[in-house]
Amino acid sequence: MLEQEPSRTAWMAATHRAAHQVLERGLIFSDPLALRILGQDAEAVARDALAHPERRGMRAFIAARAHLAETALAAGVEQRGVSQLVVLGAGLDTFAYRNPLADRLRVFEVDHPATQAWKRRRLDEAGIAIPADVVHAPVDFEREALLDGLAAAGLDLAGRTFFIWLGVVPYLTPEAVRATLTAIGSLPGGAEVAFDYADPPAALSAEARAAHRVRAERVAAVGEPWLSYFEARPLHAMLTELGFAEIEDLNPRGLAERYWPGAASGAPERGGHVVLARTA
């Protein structure tokens, strides 16, 4: 099997996480492995980030969504008996290798088999050990259903499971998004999920729409076009239909109120959202 590097968007997300550690000292989200897994030094990461000040907002969003997801995960373990974590489209995510809940939480990383082969080599090169409780679940979504792949990898379908699904939804079709949420919502042991999505471009301000167009053209140019957008109300209705009883949806203003209260009054209501949802 040939190795395959993570997608360019996964690489950029990892770069933003690393830059947040350097420029903001991990103020919102601390990831001590962010630089090591990239194989870059702090000076180079900072220099690149400072050369592109227009990326600061995306860097803040990525830090906020990671903090929200991992905070909700910890609450799920402490309060609701979550015993398994599935990181969907794991890319360069490092949670599995710095897991503070390792004594109570088994972690499954899901990605394409070729991408996982690359990541395992990168972890070895960076001197990052793979804990015994981490499972790399090589699921090829073109040939295998998500739950079938997870069950084959050892996931206990009767155990309460948390899914971290960040930086993936915009690059899937709406049908693929629904299929994944259907699978998560159907788990007999109960499930929780953290994911992000974007409002339709037409709903954005003219300035935000122009910025979005630039980003969309950039990712499309590397073969990773944005394929789905959602309005909050229909999305929440779909989640309810699929069995999710509790839904929290933070839009840009909601994120600002939580993480940058001084800037909340000027934050837009439309843009990128982070959703936390769980079944009963």
- Write the pLDDT tens digit of every residue in 109-164: 999 888 898 899 999 999 999 999 999 998 876 677 899 999 999 999 999 999 99
Structure tokens at 234: 């229909």
Instruction: Phi first, then psi: give them for residue 247, nearest 5 degrees.
Output: -135, 125
Out of 7-16, 66-75, 98-107, which region has the weakest mean confidence (pLDDT)? Answer: 7-16
Residue-range domains of the chain with CATH: 55-279 (3.40.50.150)
Residue 9's pLDDT is what?
87
Note whether 50 and 23 are within 8 A (CB): yes
Distant-in-sequence, close-in-space partners of 93: CB < 8 Å, separation ≥ 6: 14, 87, 109, 164, 166
Indicate whether this model's pTM tops 0.85. Answer: yes
